[in-house]
A and B are shown apart, each in its own frame.
Chain A
């Protein structure tokens, strides 16, 4: 599957059918810090992604002068 990361924008390929939580763990991303977006939907950590899926891991953290 294709995983789109942001800030900066980049893409990585992940092989096989995998659960969202396993993909995040492999990429060393905490679930609390991203939205997992597939098309127009959000998917939960137990969701199994297929080889041909495209997902976006959109960071939710903002900061600076808060």
Chain B
């Protein structure tokens, strides 16, 4: 069971129906469910988009693009069918929020998908979960079947004369597929290799048709916007950063957990008050504010509001809401290496700067961590990472490069401490591999 953790500062918008048995459609309806879809039907496409714009909802997958604006890019007239694609391929290290949404409130995703479809008159939607989330697929499939039985999906939904179908499926293990164009490739039964843009998915997307693609949390938020009103939702957050979001606190905190907090909530308070501070009286060293791909902040940089603009101003990104806390005992070189091992493993190999860059960075960081590096290697790591930036079809190359640059820049002393055969000052003795049996 993935459950929400609460704190007096928490607000309940997306989590409004969590822990209330709302995976059952009858209970969901009792709690006001599917009323938002009816409201959206009455509003029509233009009305839906203006409500979405008023909400200041920005994409929860990481980039923070305004959702209403994204939907408005889908052309009204299209010779090809239009689609809605829900990205539940949650794989960004540090992020585990979608599990709560699908486990406790799958109908909010279905209802949000319906509303997105109504805004662009799409007739088909897909909910794509990561392969590891098989149990969530089962919950989602059941919820979709219930929605069909009620007439909320299928032919003539809500008696409106409009048809809309949803297909649910999982991937099979690939971080890269969380990127929108790779996701479309995967859904078309191919290797998840990114597509070049433009054209953007809103114009040429899934099966060549105009496509709305949003993160599962973004879509799950949509019915709540219509429940409380776009302007009211916007007020919960900060300027241009409407509402709330599910923050996933992990790492060295007393009370890790997924918390729903207003956009712009102070990061220092999030760690010390909501999360209960650092265990065992240790000091804070760094915070990765929005999943593994976002540049780390030092302990002195955390007195900021957690919204897209303020974290951006601090030189990092709000990302996917995965706040990873590192105490003073963490070796930053080891942390940088583990991060890079991940990107080297996940790079799809399509773009050379990412494929080669992540692998060389992994090798360089390994050598540094093991004590075999020379002074020049530190600058080389940074140089290599800087040369990956902006040179790939999709943001995976940037996602690997950006945190690495920040690690070198902000924790250079720790990198230097590993030089000249000294090896890791923090490192435990490596475990011998057991003999093959």
**A, B: real partners:** no
Residues of A within 8 A of B (CB): none
